[in-house]
Amino acid sequence: MSGNTFPFTSTSLRSLRLEQEFQDWENARRALAQRRALTRVPLPRAPRPPPRQQRLQEVRAPPSQVRCRDTAIHNTFMFGDMKGVYAVLKDPGMVNALMETVQEEMVWTPEMGMWTLSSRVKQTSALRLAASRGHAGCVEELLFRGAEVNDDPGGHSALHDACIGGHAVCVRLLLSHGADPEVLTADGSAPLHLCNSAESLHCAELLLDGGADVDVRLRESRLTPLHVAARRGLEEHVELFLSHRADVLVTNREGETPLNAACSGAERPSESGRYLRVIQMLLDAGADPRTAGRKQHTPLHNACANCCSRIVGVLLQHGAKANVENCAGFTPMDCLLQVVEDYLDQHPEEVARSLLNHGAKTVSPKKLKQCFLSPATLEVMLNSYTSIPPCEWIDSVSADIKEDHRPFFELVRQRSGQPRSLQHLCRCALRLHLGARCRSAVSKLDVPSSVRDYVLLCNDGTLH
């Protein structure tokens, strides 16, 4: 095959044919428009007023806004080059000029059945560019020269950009020059919603001191700043909002409270301590751990799905229900079993023990195979039964896993279907009698710690 040719596939031929048809249609449309323009009857001239009639006062349209696509000018404000700023602002129109950037994007056009290259224009302003990078001197100069402080080209104002970057000095300057502390972005976010990083704490303080509503809602999701801070585990932000009487029971569009947001956000084990402190603050402020969203998903469901044993314990101590089901019929224990293999280093057996000690029901024997990678969790689950159910699923366990935990799996196989000891049956009877009060009641008993641990299903590596 010649090096100057290439094979046409059916797809490429179809694209060329569609492009040719579209071009023919466009040429026909333009020809028709030209013929109509030539045959159109001209409009009559406007009647002239009588000689002595007073003419209306002439009103001139305001000058068109300056538009700038010069990258060098954009960079001048973005990097806070004050020498360049003074040079640019010699033209007064540049103070509120519309800064535009053009980006080429591939866009799917259904009428042509192909991807086409399209230009997308993004708009901002000199004030936005300077505020987003925290150049306070540049922001102050622009405001002194009359920059519109609440102007929002591109859907954001300079105050929004300053809050996103955590630039408190710029926020103070903007507020002192009349910036609206509750101005909304195009998607309905208030400046407080955008104070979503640890660096933005002082920005949030300035906004609240400037009169911002601590319970302002996002337009679509109905989230409050407390939802956002709790979801990100921002301790100081949560403390600040609570000190300004933020509603701790407020729900978003899905019916979820800030407590549910915090429990769902604790996904990384390294951040569990920070989220635990946030959750404790919310509970101390009156948050209800039993509040479920529209999908009946409670904070306890989320905490179990993230395998956070300390958070699960705190929620249960504050009245969370261990047997509540969500709309899919899953209990918190079901949520735990679904993620055991993902959190083997997070001691899932502690979560299972806490749930069982607060009245959670034993799971179906078929679900035990979900925790075979964690023998400690499997031990806790099996010790909650009055008799060890048949565990045929052990045969499907890989040889490597069996070898790593050979003593325990042999014990399970040996005890499967066999009667339990009288001691264990007494334990089960006591636990059944106490129900959800098992953890609190047993902890108060004046008995040796070994007996207390035995009743509360603490791991000892065996099956009684």
Position 206 scores a pLDDT of: 97
Residues 280 and 248 sit within 8 Å (Cβ to Cβ): no
Give the closest residue to 131 by CA, choosing from 174, 91, 181, 97: 174
Residue 20 placed within a domain: no
d(CA 137, CA 131): 10
Helix (H, G, I), strand (E, B) or coil at 274: helix
Position 260 scores a pLDDT of: 96
Helix (H, G, I), strand (E, B) or coil at 444: coil
Residue 348 placed within a domain: no
Residue 25 placed within a domain: no
- What phi and psi, each to the nearest 5 degrees, are found at residue 114? -160, 165
Instruction: Kindly report the number of other CB atoms within 10 A of residue 306's CB atom.
Output: 25
Give the closest residue to 377 by CA, choosing from 286, 461, 261: 461
Give the CATH number, domain containing residue 187: 1.25.40.20
Position 85 scores a pLDDT of: 94
Amino acid at 298: T
Q: At what angle do helices 309-317 and 272-284 cross, to 10 degrees?
A: 10
Residue 130 placed within a domain: yes
Residue 341 placed within a domain: no
Q: Which helix (H) or strand (E) holds 117?
A: strand 114-125
Identify the residue whose tokens are 């209306």: 56
Whole domain around residue 97: which residue ranges? 65-108+117-213
Residue 252 placed within a domain: no
Position 368 scores a pLDDT of: 87
DSSP one-letter string for 114-156: EEEEEEEEEEEEHHHHHHHTT-HHHHHHHHHTT--TT--GGG-
Helix (H, G, I), strand (E, B) or coil at 459: coil
In the chain, which stretches have pLDDT less than 70?
1-15, 18, 22, 25-26, 29, 31-64
Position 45 scores a pLDDT of: 57
Structural domain count, the chain: 1
Position 439 scores a pLDDT of: 93
Tens of pLDDT, residue by residue over 20-79, are 776 776 677 676 666 655 555 555 555 555 655 544 444 444 455 789 999 999 999 999
Position 397 scores a pLDDT of: 77
Residue 331 placed within a domain: no
Position 2 scores a pLDDT of: 46
For the chain, state the CA radius of gyration. 34
d(CA 200, CA 180): 18
Residue 164 placed within a domain: yes
Position 35 scores a pLDDT of: 62
Position 56 scores a pLDDT of: 47
Neighbour-count burial of 4, counting CB atoms closer than 10 A to its CB (0-12 exposed, 13-18 middle, 19+ buried): exposed
